[in-house]
Structures are given as C-alpha cells and as structure tokens.
Structure 1
Amino acid sequence: MKVFEVQSNKPYRRALRIAVTVCLFLFSAVGILSQAAAQTADDTLQGTVADSKGGMIANASITVRNDATSHASTTTADGQGHFSVSGLRAGSYTVVAVAPGFQGVTRKSVQVADGQPSEVSLTLEIGSTTTEVTVDADTTGSIAAALAPMDALLDERSARTEITSSFIHNFTSPVSDFGEAVEMAPGTFTTNGNGVGLGQSSTFFRGFPDGDYDIDFDGIPFFDTNTPSHHSWAFFPSQFIGSIDFDRSPGTASTIGPTPFGGSIHLLSQDLSPLENIRGTFSGGSFHTYLYDGEYDSGNFGPGHRFNFTVDVHHLQSDGYQTFNFQTRNAGDIKVEYRITDKTVLTGYSGVIWLDANTPNFSATRCQMFGATAGYTCTATLAPFAGAGINFLNTDNSDPANYLDFQYNWYHVPTDFEYVGLHSEFGHNFVFDIKPYTYNYDNSEKYTNATPITEATTINGSTSYLGLPIQPCNVPVKGKLPCGIDKYNSYRKYGETSELSQYSKFGTLHLGAWYDWANTNRHQFPSDPLNNWADQALSNFNEKYISAAYQPFIEYDFHITKKLNITAGTKFSYETISTKQFADDGKTIGNLGTGPTPSVAGTGNPNAFITNGGAFYATLPSIDGNYRIMNNWSAYGQLSTGSIVPPSSTFDYAQSTLPGAAFIPVQTLPKQQRSTTYQTGTVLKLKRLTLDADFYHIRFQNSYSTVLGSDGEPISFLQPSSITKGFEAESNLYLGYGFSAYVNATVGRATYLGTLSVTCAPSKCTGAPITVAAPSGLWVQNTPSDTEAEGVTYQKKAWDVALFNKRVGTMYQDNGAYHNQATIDPFSVTNAFINYTIRTGGRFDQTKIRLSVNNLLDEHSITSDKIVGKALTQTISANGTTYTDPFNTMGPTPINGGDNVGILPGRSIMLSVTFGFSPKHNR
C-alpha cells in the first residue's frame, strides 16, 4: 500500500518539472525578446552600500562626480542598499556615500565603461560617538539600532522584532533552522533534543505552541493540513532565509493565514545582490555533523541588466546528539528576478529539500535518561530503551533490541515550495501584487514500538532481555498488534495571495485575498518490520480529505496627522474540509459494522469508508494606531481578533459505538476558536540606545472536546478559555569601540478561567448542559513565568563576535487534563560565536571563518515532560450521564521515573569556512 501511495505523487512531480521548465523557457524568451528590442542606453553605474558587518544600508545618499567635467549626479539607495545612476559618460568618477550614523566614504577613480553598466560596492563604518547623528523614521541614524542583533521599528503598530540577516548568518549555527533563528527574541524559546538544526524543533512564544501562530515565507502561509503546525526541519533552513519579521500579535486585517491570532513569524528570502559572487562553505563539528554549501549570485545581467538570480545548494549529514537519531539532508533553492520595466517586477522562487532521518518516535523515560535518584524509583518493569538521551542504562548497540530500533526507525521527507510573484505600479499611485504558489509535504515514516510482554519468546536463542521477556515482531501474540507502524502524511497545496494598494495624502487603502487549497492523504497501519513491513489489514486510521481556506480583507491606513496613523480593517475567514475515512481497527472511527465479525476489532472491511465535512467562518476586525511623539520616539496601541479552524480530528469518532446506525455525520459543528488581543507599547531610538516595550492581554478559547448527544450525534465544543498577559521589553546599548550590550525580558502569566458550561439544543441534550471543569488559576502548559536573553556583541570591520544567553523560567506541563502535573524548572542555554570576514572588495571578498558554540556550558536541563500516570475518569456530564473526556485520561499521579522527558542537547561546536570569489570586473 505504501508503494502505491508514494507512486501516486509522481504526476505532481512530473507536473512540477514541466512547470519549472516552462518558467525557465518563459524567462529565456522574455530575455531574448528584450535583447532584440533593446536600444543603446546611456552608461550606468550601480552598486550597493553596506555597513561594516555586511548589512545593507537603506536610503544612503550617493553622489557620483565626473573627474574630468566635475558634473555630479545624486541618488538615494533603496531599502536593500542598492543604487543605480544612469546618464553617465564613460570615464573616471568619484563616488561619495553618506548616511546618518555612519562615517562617509569616498571612492576615487571609479571607472565607468562604455556600453555596459559598471558596478561598485561601498562600505560605511559606524560613526564615532562624537559624530552628530540625526535619528529619522527608518532608524538608520541610531548607532545602537544599526548594531542591534534584533530590534523594533518606530512605525510598528504591534509588538514586533526584526531579526536581521547579520544575526541569522553570524550569530546562529550554520545548521540552524528557522525555529532556532527566533530563539533569542522576547518571550520566545525553542527546544530541539537532537541538537541545533538536527531534528524537528518546537518553538513557543507567549505560551502559544506551534499550531497556534502563523509562519509564512515571502508572505505565503505554509502549514500542515490536519492541524496548522509546521515542520522546521523540512522547510526553509537558515540557508534559505534572509531575515525575519517576528510579529507577536494577531497583526492587522491584512495579516493572512490560518492562525495569526497567536502571532506571525514572517520569513523573508535572501535579497538579490546586484554584484556577481560565488561562495562555497564547509562546516564540520560535533556529533559528526558536516555541511557542504555552494551559493552563486549572478548580479544584474542581460539586456539592460534587468535579470538577476541567486542559487544555493547544500548537503547536511549528522549522527545527531541522540543515540540512533542520524539524518541527511540535500536541499537547494533558487530565486530569479526580471525587471520588465522600472515599475513592474517578476519574481520566481523554488526551494526543494530531500530529508532522511532515523528519529525514534518516542522519548526516553526519566529512569532511562538519568537512572534512579531521590524522589522516584526505577523498577525492573521499565522497558529497555533504544532511542534518545544521555547516560543510557543499556548502550550495547549489538543487542537485538537496540539493533531493531537502529535499523527500523526512519523518515523519508521530500518537500518542495514554489511561487511566482508579480509586482506592478500603475498610475494614480496604485500598486498590485499577486503571488500564485504551490508546495508539497510527503512524509513516509516507519518505526518500531516493541515493548516487553509477559509471554516468553526468543531472539537469537534468548527468551529474555535484561531478565524481561521480549516479543519479536514476527511472532504473533494474542491481543498484541504488530510492533511496527507504517505512517504516511502527504499533501499538495495550491493557492495565491493578492493585494491592490492605493496611496494618497489621506492614507493607504489595501484590498486583497488569500486562497489555499490542499489534497491530503494520511494513514497509520500496524506493521511487521521483520516481515517486509507487512501491514495489518485494518489501520489505526486511514483518511483522505480536501481542505480549502479563503480570506478576503479590506484595510485602510489613515494619515490623521503627520504624527498619527490609525489603521482599521476586517477580514473574512471561510474554511472548508471534506473527508473520506476508511474503516480501521477501532482506534479512530471503528470497523463501520462490516466484515465477517463486526463486533471484533480488526475484522472489518478495509475498503469501507464514510464521508464527512463542514464549513467554518469568522469575521475578524482589527484597529491599531501609531503616534510619533518625536522623530525618534513612538507609541502604539492595538485591538485585534483572531481564530483557528477545528483540526481534522474533529471528525474522528467511533462509528461502531453509535446507537441505531453505522454512521451519523457531524451536524453540530464547533465554532472556530477565537481570541481577542489588546496591546500597547513604545519604541525609542537614541544615538547609543534603543528601547522598546509592550504590555499585552489575550483572551483565548482553547482546544476541542467531543461527547455524544442524546440522539447519538457527536457534539464538539471548546474547552475552557484562558487569559494570557504580560510585559515585554528589549534594548541594545552601544558601548563604544564596536561593543554593544543587548537584553530582552518578558514577565507573563497564562491561566485558565475555570468551569465551562456548554448549552446544547433540546434535541441533543435533554438534561443539564455539558460542563467541563478546569480549576481556575491553573497555568496553561509551556507558558514560562519569565524569559530573559542577554548578549554582548563586538561588530567592527571584519569581526563579528557575540555571546548570548537565554533563560526560561518555571513552567508547567499537563498529561491532557488541567492538572499541572509536571513542573519544569528554569533552564538556560548559552551560545558563543566568532566570525572573521574579508571585506576588502578584492577577488576573495566575503570569505569568512566562522566558529559557533551552542550550549557552551554543556547543560542538560529538562525542557519537557510527558507524564505517564494511572487512568482517571475526568468527567463531563450531559443528560444525566457521565462521559470520559478523551482529552483527559491521565490522572495527577506522582512522577515515578517512567515519564518521558526532553533535555537540552549537549555542547555543539561547529567550525565553518566560506570561500568567497568575486569575478574580476566586480573589484
């Protein structure tokens, strides 16, 4: 069955190859036609303006003076530090670049060639502390802002942090993913038990877990189809990312995506360079981790120098920190731009990743990780563990039980992501943007989950392992399923984002829409890894579904005064799902009453299925304002709403248990989860100091539960609401001589409000309303009481050196009920980075030596805990009947050493060398 499923994606891949070929043909055809139509143009000088750490300087003033005639032309660099001066004659020129907060630079004897554009790169040093600095709206006048690793903007309307390209490529590991790139931001923490960039990381901010906030790439939301979560190891490694706009708020009406109520991590692709460059990187370090990377920037080329592209390919391999958790990754991305006219730009992007890993499907227990210590005992009934962690009690990799895990746990995850974007400016200040896209996620996973049982069996002549009887997968045992799992999750998406904007002296109007359509195929079959992965006839679940999302919006940014802007708008969220679920072994929907013995699990017809579905909609208004108190000081306020559609599991309920019928569709659908956020904050930019701070208050409706009504129909409803509130602040202080001190801190609290009462329609609930008890005041899990990040950086000339520390305060975790059974004590991680870059403008410009050390102090603190306790009837009462809530099945038993814990991975050291080669005509 797996072979069929994988092959079923071949038409999509064939279509993708055809589409890429057509796009390349169209780009080539446009270039040929443009060349044929091109006429001789005046000579042009173009280039870039960067600071000493390689970051592009926006809005720098450029003066180009002819050395023979003294005739001068001036221009201003764009937001990416690029500039172009046309109408020049061939000859020698003097070029002067100035920007607030920087020492001006003069480049003499710059040659402009006849008949072809010439290029020059300029580097500005930070101005001395005695230099007069004019701080303006784009913050370039603040020395502290220019050197801040992360910073807020004066014109922001919510709590945002801009994570610069310099931070990503100097102050994170070369193998990091996007989750680890935001780890040091206010209120945020990221965990990854296998080491930086070597597994699926989990990011939390303000207590919201993955799936309760948006992530997009170049404005395109990407997310899973069963829940709106993300795969950090399968999409967008740091090599693909240029910078990050991290918005810890629902944003405005024009903020699209399935779950922006928790916030949005806006990933931005690499900027295109106007200069040609070639770079090759080798990185090696801890856990036998090796990264090979090659990048080529074409610079502007072709007729009128209107074409530009950058391409990156890399190979990663690592054993990982955890035992038997190795992986390899082959990936590449390409970004192409063609300027059709000065006001119309066509952009294409493609990123492809091919990931193979041996990640175990479960974590080590506390006993297996640390052994017996005070406070709990480790008994002989604990299964031997062949998976992740340190201080293993059983480390003989030649043992059959360990070898089984080593050989029969693996992921195969190919992904691709493509878009074509068109940006065009029209008359009367109209601007139109449209971006059709497609992307695919294809996860084939197989893993063992064998545990010792009471019946004695034999492996290699032995009937026991460490005194415990064991069950090999190829020996059938009554009441036991095969000890492997054949898991598959694949979806292909198509969609588009579009926006029409009109600028005037009164403000800016934004009209737009986001549409997303997906086809999903998911299953889990009990399987026998020692018998060619023979699947059981009936699955744990087996489903296919089509889902769609549509979000039109309207928004207006009113320029009330020169200092006050107010933005108001609304978006309409409409999402649908249509499911086809096949009979299973009773774990999800049941055997549907078919087969030779319908009452016996596992004997149903695997081809029987049911269909279901629903539509969900919400209207989401927002309003915010920004007031410029002074040129370097602003304040803002925001009121915004958000929602999240119920997960596909809303339709998972056991049909075989329903009275009187084999199938009853869900007719009483739950409403979308809603949130309301209030925020206020301020941003200050001084010559040597930046400061931003905010207060936030969020009321959030939590996840879903389901019971059966009096007529047997499933009734889904939201769990009790919670309140999340807190204070955040961040600051960068320029100390002088290239040194800066960065700090951020968050103090927060997220607690449940108490008992929830749900009223049912009379035909559904003839008795008392449904009630769910969540003791008021208990914490929402994974919400730290506080977080702090401290950093010291040295950024001057060729050096970028930093030491960062992140501390995460006390937090609690549940086993599915509202009990706060586990307490996670505060933990910290310290990272250090040393970078030396050649910036002479010569042939080997941008060659870099890079040393990264993560978890410098080699801490092994516990960061998560999956509690294992005795069963408890957590009751929901409806119609005078007590039901067991499927989300609350474990009781508040003391930790006994059998709980599964995650820890900080050990110290990781990576040494990288990037070889830069700049063609001769760029020098």
Structure 2
Amino acid sequence: MNRHKFALRVSHRAVIAFIALVETVPANAADQTYDLGAVTTAGESDSSGSSATGKGSATYESPSSMSVKATEPVFNVGQQYIDQNASAGSNYTDIISILPSIVSVDPNGPGMMETQALSIRGFQDGQYNVTFDGIPWGDSNDFTHHSTSYFMAQDIGGIGVDMGPGDASNIGYSTFGGTVAVKSRDPMGAAQTDMFSSFGSWNTRLLGVQFNSGNMQNYGDAMLYLSYKDFSSDGYLTDGAQKRQNLFMKFEKPLGNDTLVTFVAMGNKLQQNVPYGASLQQMAQYGKNYSLSANPLSQNYYGYNNDNITSDFEYIGVKTRFGSLDLDNKLYTYAYYHDPGLNGLQPGYGTNLSTGNAPGTPGLAVTGTVVGGVAYPNDIPGQTMTMNYRSVGDLLRMSELMGPGKLDFGAWIDVQNNNRSQSEIDFSLNGAPNSGNQIYATSGNLAYTDRLMVDSLTTLQPYVQYEWKVRDNWTVTPGLKYSYFDRSFNSLVQQGTGAPYDGSQSWTKVLPALTTNYQMSGNWSFYAEYAEGFMAPNMNNFYKPNAQTGTLQPQSTKNYQVGTVWSGHDLNFSADLYRIDFTDKISSISCGVGVIGTCFTNIGGVRYDGGEMQATWKFAKNTSLYGNLGINNYSTSDGSVLPYTPHTTAALGPIYDDGSWYGSMIAKEVGARSSGTGNGGPNNNGIAFGSYTLVDLNASYKFDTGWNWAKKAQVGFQVNNLFNRTDIYAYTSGFTDINGNPLLFGLPERYYQVNFSVMF
C-alpha cells in the first residue's frame, strides 16, 4: 500500500461519521449543568485524595500502583513511568514486563519484534484480554495480539493489568486469565509541540513529533493531540531489521456542560524481517544472536522471511448524562492487513553444520521444488501468506444511581471478518507456485495451497451489576454477564484438512461475579472477589475432519482473590492471594490412523494459586524505592507442564525525581520455567530454562533552554540489560535446524540509547 495512504484506509468514513455524530447529539443534552469532569476520559480519581496520588507521591512515581477502590488486583502503570523508562520502540508488552507474575522479553530488542512467551500468572497470550480505551482487540482465530502493529509508548497514557476476569462489566474475547487495559494519552490543556528523537544500539533510530492544541476556546473548548513516529532498527538478531511508521490522533470536544465527544484514529505501517531463533549448535558456532542470513541460497535469507503489515484503529466516543443516567458509548473499527508475508519453508535450515559453512555462504540445505510438473532440486522453497481482517463493533456502558447504590449495565458487540491464505512457492523462480511441498492431496491450482479461508467471529456480551453501598466505606457488587460467540466458515481449502468447509458453531455461557471493597480509612482498604472467566474454542478446533465441534465445551475459570491496598503520599502498597480453577481444558488428540488433521477434546484442567506484593516507598525527598514479588504455583490434572510459568518473579530498585533530574535502576528477576509439555525436552516435558535477572538503568535531565523558540529541552540515557545477561529463555515452536534441533532465543545483549526532546 502507498505509504502516504496507510493511515487513511478507513479514516474518511470515520471522519464523516464523527461529523454527523457531533451534529446530531440531542439538543437537550446541552441543557444539563453538572460538571464535565464527571464524563472526561481521565478516569475516576482515587478517593484517598490528590496528596496520595498526585505529582511527587509514591503512586505517581511507582512503576505499578493499586487504588484503594480496587475489587481485585489491578496493577496500574502510570504515564510518568512510561515517559521516563520506555525505550524508543517499546510496546505495551515491554512496559508491563516490570510487573509481578508477568514474563515478557522481545528477543530482538525492545519493540523490535513481537514478544515471545508473554505470560501472566502462567496464562499465555490468547488467554487474556488486551483493550484500548476499553475496546477489546485481537485476532479472532486464537485471540492473540500483534504488539508491534498498533500503539506505541509515546501515545500511551497508562496501562492497568487486571490479574483476573474482573467484575461483570469486564468484557472481551477472552475474559479468562486477566486484562491488559491500555489507555490513550489525553490532550493537554495548554498548547505545546514536542519534537523528540532517540538513537541506540543496532542502528536503532526514532524520530517523532507530538502536537497539543491546548484548549481551543474559539472552537468550543475542543482539544487535539496528534503524534507521528518513525522508528527503525537493524535489531539484535542477525538480519532482523524493522521499520515502523505510526500516526495517532485524539480529538475531544465538549458539548455543553455534560457531554464529551472523542474521536481517536491510529494508522501503523510495519515492515520487518522475522527471526526464528537458532539452535544451540548454531549459537555456539555463530553467536547467540544468529538467526536470519544474507545468503539468498538459504531458506533463512532475510528476503525470504519478511512481513508487510498495515493496521488501523478508530473510534467515536460519546460520554453524556440524561437526568440520572450516565452513558458512555464507543463505536469503533480496527483492521490488520498482513499482505504479503513471506517465510522460508524451514528457516532453521539456514546453515549446514555438517559442512561448516558460515552464515551467508552457498551450499546450504534445500529441499527442492516442483513447478509446472518440472523438478528443480536446487531451488529454494518457501511460503507466501495473507491474513487480512477488520472488526466493527460498539461498546455501550450505562450507569444510574438507584437506591443505596449504582446500577451498571451495557453491552459489547463485535463482528470480525477474516481472509486467510497460504501457498507454497519457489523463491528461486520469483515466487512461482510450488507443488513439490504440497501438504494435502489436492490437484490443479490447489496443489500448492495450504489454506484458502474466509471466516468470521461474532461476539455479544451484555452485562448488568449493582454496586450496593452497604456503608459509606463498604461496597458489595454482584453481577452477571452473558457471553455469546459464533464462528462461521466458507473455505475452499480448510487448514488442517485441505478440504472445503462451509459451516458454523456457537457457544454461550452465563458468567457470575461478586466483588467487595471495604475501606478502613481513606488510605487503606481490603477487597475480595469471586468471578468466572470464559474462552470460546479457537479456530484450530475446526482443523479436523468435517470440522464438527459441537462436543466441545468452552474453557472456563473460577477465580477467588483477596487483597489489601494502602495508598498514601509516601507509600503505595498492595498484597493479594489468589486461586484459579481452570476446567474443560481443550487438548489435542489423535484423529485416528490415516486421518488428516488434529482433533480436540475437553480433558482435565489446571489449578493455579499464589499471590503478589508490590510497594513504592518514598523514603526521602525526591527518592523512592520500588519492589514487587510474584509467587505462582499450579497443578495439572494430566501432569502436563505449563509453558513459561515461573514459580517466582521479583523486582527491586530506586527511583529519583526532583522535577529536573530523573533516574531509576530496577532489576527484574524471572524464575526457572519450561517451554511446556509437548515442546521437546526430556520425556517431552519441555525445554528447561533457568532463572535470569535483567537490570535497566534510566537517567534524564530536563532544563529551561533560554531560547526564544523553545521552552524546555530534555536529554536522557538508557541502558537495558546493564549486566549483559544473554541466557537462553524461549523456544520457537514448529521449527528446527537441519539436524532436527529446536530453535531458541537468548536474551538480547546490553542495549544503549540516548534521547533528545525539545518542547515549543
């Protein structure tokens, strides 16, 4: 797609709808007189007061804090921490990696590749929600997320990580293991333009600009935030380069005293070479960062392993009040266009160890191709794929004071339409169709087709809950949510079977929740929660003969959590204990002798238990100490090993902030874990990974320039992985080197970055 059009793929429709909405807001809405602050996007303030949460407090400086209003563990990462500590290309996955019970590392460097093995209490990507301004997003096939294709750190105003399914109002594709709630940055009340740049290891570069219009009184107090970022890096892994352009806009317009209209639009263009890791033998010979090569005669040539991805995200939001009824509605759309994606048939075959060839030299192993019935034994086989989808949906939330409490109710509806294809090709013949590596016994044009699918997912989740104020300091909130999922297919070549398939299946479940919060004082509270989570079967459950899934039950969790929070000016502390019962786990089984495809059944479950603690203590003027601890245990009914689930995680380090100078040095330790049952290793119990500790150092200085054309400037310096740990920590499922050894990732080596910004 033309570079200058990528951010506008759907924006013209969204703008037209936005203008129409502003023009048609009911006239009587402007007659209300309550303060607009009740419907702003800033969120609810902590009842402990601004002295406990405002600038200079422990909560303000903390990498993770909790509110005294919490009804379950929700770790909040604030904008201050993000602005001062996020690396140039960071995504939400990099930012939340500091939190307890969370494991996340980008093997190619921060933001330079989608994270491998992001785990929250042992739940993997696809088993928890990710939302943006409350809107769930992700792939409908398995509910996973492309962290490099949407929002960058410069536009994130905060992240809340909910360590459970939440109350009944928490909606999403996978209300199962938690929610990562990303919040957009709000426009500033004063006009300001920031130009910023970063330069780092591996030829990493970021150039960007942020514009805040301030309060435009001549335009009805409207405010605009606009940013553009251009990011590129060669990456830590060999030939693993990435280029990314991202445009983000947020516009807010009050209508009278009680209505706020918000329009958000984001466009992202990504080009990247996709590393697959290397075997231990390859690492020993060529270095731990070996992955792709510059040799066009090998399957791991970077030109044969690359993605071109365009994505966008837009919504129109209205917050208003009608009498005693508060209304918050967001009409949205987002899209992901992976077109095309290229990969070598087996990228790990990049180096023939038996001949001792170095990366980038000829003579590497290939399997040959067949094009037009003619065999080409020395040609390079590979694959080309597309995955293009768009979601359209609406999120409606309403609340009304009623009796001794507040009634909350609403609904979320989403429809995602997806087109997926993959074909075998010959790279040596400019992508000619290759029938020599066909997966299925098909003929004609489909002899080289692995999948050619059209599918859709329709999701509906209405909810209702009542926040009963038993006393001024005690609330009890029972609620119910109804979840409906429907998958439908119209496929010429269904993945897993190679046969045509036209069919659908739906699942439903009622999910109860009960939460309570008791405040001992304005700074101290206790909470407890019972809630059920739900995840519909993934698309791969249809990759079997006849694709009949009626016997499968949705996977479910029952969550029990208790905890306490202290939020004062000099201390933010929280601790929690949890137990989670995961039932109706879907596992793969054999379909029988001679049957193509993988079959699935509900078998067994998992019991999780553990707890987290976190604290930020401001023990001296401008100086704080941050620490956290996560303890996670599990037991499976079938004795299997869960992937990437450490028994412990911990973090510790000081933070200094006097308004001009900022500094932090925080260590994060991740305990021993495994790649999980079925991923190789002794007795097929996975590949064992030892514990590791990463230490990140950040320092910056903000000063008045004395220049007429610029107000302030800031310079900064960052070092990630200060002590240069390069432990092996992750496994690439499904790929091996020529000798059948698994491909692995090591921690990226020490990374340096300098930052510059000027404020006009």
Alignment-derived partner of residue 459 in structure 1: none
Q: Which amino acid is the alignment partner of residue 580 of structure 1? A: N
Give me the whole-angstrom Cα distance separating, in 2, the residues matched to 1:343 and 1:514: 24
| 1:178-208: CA deviation from partner (whole Å, max 9, x where unpaired) | 1001010111121211100101114211011
Alignment-derived partner of residue 197 in structure 1: 111
Alignment-derived partner of residue 292 in structure 1: 207
Alignment-derived partner of residue 129 in structure 1: none
Alignment-derived partner of residue 342 in structure 2: 446
- Counterpart among 685, 691, 712 of residue 826 in structure 1: 691
Q: 1:199, 1:233 within 8 Å by CA — same for their partners in 2?
A: yes
Matched, 1:679 2:561: yes
| 1:63-112: CA deviation from partner (whole Å, max 9, x where unpaired) | xxxxxxxxxxxxx9999599xxxxxxxxxxxxxxxx99xxxxxxxxxxxx
Matched, 1:906 2:749: yes
The alpha carbon displacement at 1:649 in A equals 1.2
Q: Secondary structure at the match of 2:237?
A: coil
- Counterpart among 518, 538, 552 of residue 670 in structure 1: 552
Q: Secondary structure at the match of 1:167?
A: helix
Q: Secondary structure at the match of 1:560?
A: strand
Alignment-derived partner of residue 744 in structure 1: 628
The alpha carbon displacement at 1:306 in A equals 2.0
The alpha carbon displacement at 1:170 in A equals 0.3
Matched, 1:693 2:591: no
Give me the whole-angstrom Cα distance separating, in 2, the residues matched to 1:452 and 1:263: 34
Residues 839/432 of structure 1: CA separation in 2 closer, same or farther (3 Å cut): farther
Q: Secondary structure at the match of 2:72?
A: coil
Matched, 1:643 2:549: no
Residues 471/822 of structure 1: CA separation in 2 closer, same or farther (3 Å cut): closer
Q: 2:18, 2:316 within 8 Å by CA — same for their partners in 1?
A: no
- Counterpart among 594, 605, 611 of residue 502 in structure 2: 611
Q: 1:452, 1:468 within 8 Å by CA — same for their partners in 2?
A: no
Give me the whole-angstrom Cα distance separating, in 1, the residues matched to 2:712 and 2:348: 57
Q: 1:450, 1:471 within 8 Å by CA — same for their partners in 2?
A: no
Residues 77/723 of structure 1: CA separation in 2 closer, same or farther (3 Å cut): closer
The alpha carbon displacement at 1:705 in A equals 2.6
The alpha carbon displacement at 1:520 in A equals 0.4
Q: Secondary structure at the match of 2:107?
A: coil
Alignment-derived partner of residue 355 in structure 2: none
Matched, 1:581 2:475: no
Q: 1:623, 1:638 within 8 Å by CA — same for their partners in 2?
A: yes
Q: Secondary structure at the match of 2:99?
A: coil
The alpha carbon displacement at 1:837 in A equals 2.0
Alignment-derived partner of residue 152 in structure 1: 66
Q: 2:195, 2:209 within 8 Å by CA — same for their partners in 1?
A: yes
Give me the whole-angstrom Cα distance separating, in 2, the residues matched to 1:514 and 1:723: 30
Matched, 1:165 2:47: no
Q: 1:289, 1:319 within 8 Å by CA — same for their partners in 2?
A: yes
Q: Secondary structure at the match of 1:847?
A: strand
The alpha carbon displacement at 1:912 in A equals 1.2
Alignment-derived partner of residue 432 in structure 1: 327
Alignment-derived partner of residue 844 in structure 1: 710
The alpha carbon displacement at 1:583 in A equals 3.3
Alignment-derived partner of residue 122 in structure 1: none
Residues 184/788 of structure 1: CA separation in 2 closer, same or farther (3 Å cut): same
Give me the whole-angstrom Cα distance separating, in 1, the residues matched to 2:579 and 2:258: 42
Listed as ranges, the matches of 1:133-532 within 5 Å are 136=49, 139-140=52-53, 143-202=57-116, 203-303=118-218, 305-360=220-275, 362-371=276-285, 390=288, 392=290, 399-401=295-297, 405-427=301-323, 429-443=324-338, 444-449=340-345, 470-471=366-367, 477=375, 483-504=381-402, 506-532=404-430
Give me the whole-angstrom Cα distance separating, in 1, the residues matched to 2:57 and 2:347: 60
- Counterpart among 514, 519, 535 of residue 433 in structure 2: 535
The alpha carbon displacement at 1:303 in A equals 3.5
Give me the whole-angstrom Cα distance separating, in 2, the residues matched to 1:500 and 1:555: 11
Residues 516/479 of structure 1: CA separation in 2 closer, same or farther (3 Å cut): farther
The alpha carbon displacement at 1:483 in A equals 1.2
- Segment of structure 1 superposing worse, 199-208 or 500-509: 500-509
Q: 1:864, 1:903 within 8 Å by CA — same for their partners in 2?
A: yes
- Segment of structure 1 superposing worse, 151-160 or 300-309: 300-309
The alpha carbon displacement at 1:272 in A equals 1.4
Give me the whole-angstrom Cα distance separating, in 1, the residues matched to 2:394 and 2:244: 28
Matched, 1:801 2:663: yes
The alpha carbon displacement at 1:858 in A equals 1.4
Residues 445/504 of structure 1: CA separation in 2 closer, same or farther (3 Å cut): same
TM-score under structure 2 length normalisation:
0.87
| 1:327-379: CA deviation from partner (whole Å, max 9, x where unpaired) | 1111101001110111011110000001011113x3211111124xxxxxxxx
Give me the whole-angstrom Cα distance separating, in 1, the residues matched to 2:348 and 2:50: 66
The alpha carbon displacement at 1:137 in A equals 8.7
Q: 1:355, 1:414 within 8 Å by CA — same for their partners in 2?
A: yes
Q: Which amino acid is the alignment partner of residue 181 of structure 1? A: I
Residues 284/649 of structure 1: CA separation in 2 closer, same or farther (3 Å cut): same
Q: Secondary structure at the match of 1:425?
A: strand
Alignment-derived partner of residue 758 in structure 2: 915
Q: 1:473, 1:529 within 8 Å by CA — same for their partners in 2?
A: no
Q: 1:521, 1:543 within 8 Å by CA — same for their partners in 2?
A: yes
Q: Secondary structure at the match of 1:436?
A: strand
**Bigger radius of gyration, 1 or 2?**
1
Residues 632/152 of structure 1: CA separation in 2 closer, same or farther (3 Å cut): same
Q: 2:649, 2:668 within 8 Å by CA — same for their partners in 1?
A: yes
The alpha carbon displacement at 1:719 in A equals 3.3
Q: Secondary structure at the match of 2:471?
A: coil
Give me the whole-angstrom Cα distance separating, in 2, the residues matched to 1:513 and 1:643: 16
Matched, 1:780 2:642: yes
- Counterpart among 487, 500, 511 of residue 620 in structure 1: 511
| 1:591-630: CA deviation from partner (whole Å, max 9, x where unpaired) | x4xxxxxxxxxxxxxxxx3212100111100001011122
Give me the whole-angstrom Cα distance separating, in 1, the residues matched to 2:7 and 2:88: 30
Alignment-derived partner of residue 730 in structure 2: 864
Q: Secondary structure at the match of 1:183?
A: helix
Give me the whole-angstrom Cα distance separating, in 2, the residues matched to 1:290 and 1:363: 23
Alignment-derived partner of residue 554 in structure 1: 464
The alpha carbon displacement at 1:391 in A equals 6.3
Higher relative contact order (CA 8 A, sep 6+): 2
Give me the whole-angstrom Cα distance separating, in 2, the residues matched to 1:150 and 1:843: 37
Q: Which amino acid is the alignment partner of residue 186 of structure 1? A: P
Give me the whole-angstrom Cα distance separating, in 2, the residues matched to 1:544 and 1:423: 36
Listed as ranges, the matches of 1:54-73 within 5 Å are none
Q: Secondary structure at the match of 1:540?
A: strand
- Counterpart among 701, 705, 720 of residue 588 in structure 2: 705
Q: 1:705, 1:719 within 8 Å by CA — same for their partners in 2?
A: no
Give me the whole-angstrom Cα distance separating, in 2, the residues matched to 1:814 and 1:320: 27
The alpha carbon displacement at 1:211 in A equals 0.4
Matched, 1:735 2:735: no
Q: 1:484, 1:527 within 8 Å by CA — same for their partners in 2?
A: yes
Residues 816/837 of structure 1: CA separation in 2 closer, same or farther (3 Å cut): same
What runs of 5+ residues in structure 1 fail to find an aligned partner? Answer: 1-5, 39-45, 47-58, 60-75, 83-98, 101-133, 372-384, 457-463, 593-608, 656-663, 754-773, 871-895, 918-923
Q: 1:338, 1:345 within 8 Å by CA — same for their partners in 2?
A: yes
Give me the whole-angstrom Cα distance separating, in 2, the residues matched to 1:140 and 1:271: 18
Q: Which amino acid is the alignment partner of residue 150 of structure 1? A: S
Q: 1:137, 1:154 within 8 Å by CA — same for their partners in 2?
A: no
Residues 136/300 of structure 1: CA separation in 2 closer, same or farther (3 Å cut): closer
Q: Percent identity between the aligned chains?
A: 25
Q: Secondary structure at the match of 2:428?
A: coil
The alpha carbon displacement at 1:162 in A equals 1.0
Q: Which amino acid is the alignment partner of residue 685 of structure 1? A: S
Residues 517/391 of structure 1: CA separation in 2 closer, same or farther (3 Å cut): closer
Q: Secondary structure at the match of 2:282?
A: helix
Listed as ranges, the matches of 1:866-881 within 5 Å are 866=732
Q: Which amino acid is the alignment partner of residue 799 of structure 1? A: W
Listed as ranges, the matches of 1:24-43 within 5 Å are none
Q: 1:646, 1:704 within 8 Å by CA — same for their partners in 2?
A: no
Q: Secondary structure at the match of 2:82?
A: helix
Matched length: 718
Q: Which amino acid is the alignment partner of residue 682 of structure 1? A: T
| 1:368-398: CA deviation from partner (whole Å, max 9, x where unpaired) | 1124xxxxxxxxxxxxx9xxx6365x99x66
